[in-house]
Amino acid sequence: MSSAQPELRIRRASKLERSLKRIWSLPSLLWGCILLAILIAVALLAPIISPYHPSEQNMAAILQPPSSEHWLGTDQLGRDLFARLIYAARTDLKIMALAEIVPFCVGVFLGMVAGYYGKWADALITLATDTFIAFPFYLIVIIVAFVSGAGEKGIYITFMLVGWIVYARVVRGLSASLRKQEWIAAARTLGLPNIKIILRHLLPNVLPQAVVVLMTDMAVLLVAIVTLGYLGIGIAPPTPDWGTMISEGQPFISTKWWLSAAPGFAVVYAGIALSLIGDGLADLWRRK
């Protein structure tokens, strides 16, 4: 035993110090966080940054090219494009975050239940995921949009219906392999009830992987929100949204290309930020 003692005496860097060091060593995570932080800051501070209101029309100055007065020019109703762009970030990011919460929790929980219990619980949940996967996503969205009316509500409902599947599938596989681990058996011999084992023992072990999926799924969801806006069944005008902005700029694409390109770039920017964070987190936890 004595041979192993010295290793215990090594000074341990504080937790914060170690996490900072780890993040610093992962450029993708670092850059992802920086890009996302900028985006969130701009969205939150939109009223301060932008001199214009996003719905403020000025028919005297429509379709202007970028200038010092209007940084990205104006649209066909004379609204300031930059103002609309950053206000749209507010709408789209808010919906993206809210629409993920419920599916994330439900999916992770059902995945753990399916993987931990196996047998009929697994069969039932797998059947449900397979059924939903068989439907094309946009078909469900369009049906829900027509039933509930276009707008935010439709997006939330659709995502509650289908969003949990990704998490359930990933977490189910992970839980099924963790269930065979001896520390789960040890918890069972202690007599812990199953729900406690799931929440205390399984959850912390599946959460990292689920968060990585969350990041990539958020990027997918953002694109979905924008697509719906573009198709005219997402967020209704005049609320600014990148999707509607792209479609509104489309008639002028040959002469005023920036009208569509700017919101398009914003989507790409947000997607890259989220993917970088997802990759970075995956690396971070793999290394551990």
Q: Check: CB of residue 114 under 8 Å from CB of residue 172.
A: yes
Quick one: which of 181, 199, 237, 238 contacts another protein (CB under 8 A)? Answer: 181
Task: Find the binding residues for another protein in span 182-201 (CB under 8 A).
Answer: 182-183, 185-192, 200-201
C-alpha–C-alpha distance, residues 141 and 233, integer Å: 9
Report, in Å, the least distance between residue 187 CB and another protein. 8
Q: Is 5 in the site for another protein (CB under 8 A)?
A: yes
Q: Is 255 in the site for another protein (CB under 8 A)?
A: no
Which of 55, 188 has the CB closer to another protein?
188
Report, in Å, the least distance between residue 206 CB and another protein. 10
Which of 183, 257 has the CB closer to another protein?
183
Which of 126, 205 has the CB closer to another protein?
205
C-alpha–C-alpha distance, residues 135 and 146, integer Å: 17
What's the N-to-C CA distance of the chain in angstroms?
A: 26
Region binding another protein by CB under 8 A among candidate stretches 55-63, 79-87, 101-109, 175-183: 175-183
Report, in Å, the least distance between residue 12 CB and another protein. 8
Instruction: For 27-92, give the DSSP string.
Output: HHHHHHHHHHHHHHHHHHTHHHH-SS-TT---GGG-SPPP-SSSTT-B-TT--BHHHHHHHHHHHH
Q: Is 286 in the site for another protein (CB under 8 A)?
A: no
Other Cβ atoms less than 10 A from the Cβ of 186: the count is 11
Applying CB under 8 A, the site for another protein has a residue count of 21
Rg (CA), the chain: 24
Alpha carbon of 161 to those of 52, 146, 154, 261, 264: distances in Å? 38, 15, 11, 32, 27
Report, in Å, the least distance between residue 29 CB and another protein. 20
Residue 192 sits at φ, ψ, to 5 deg, of -60, 135
Task: Find the binding residues for another protein in span 69-98 (CB under 8 A).
Answer: none
Which of 10, 48 has the CB closer to another protein?
10
Quote the distance between the C-alpha of residue 54 and its chain's center: 25
Report, in Å, the least distance between residue 105 CB and another protein. 19
Report, in Å, the least distance between residue 287 CB and another protein. 12
Region binding another protein by CB under 8 A among candidate stretches 102-110, 127-135, 177-185, 222-230: 177-185
Pick from 133, 143, 150, 125: nearest CA to 244 = 150
Which residues are at the interface with another protein (CB under 8 A)? 1, 4-5, 8-9, 181-183, 185-192, 200-201, 204-205, 288
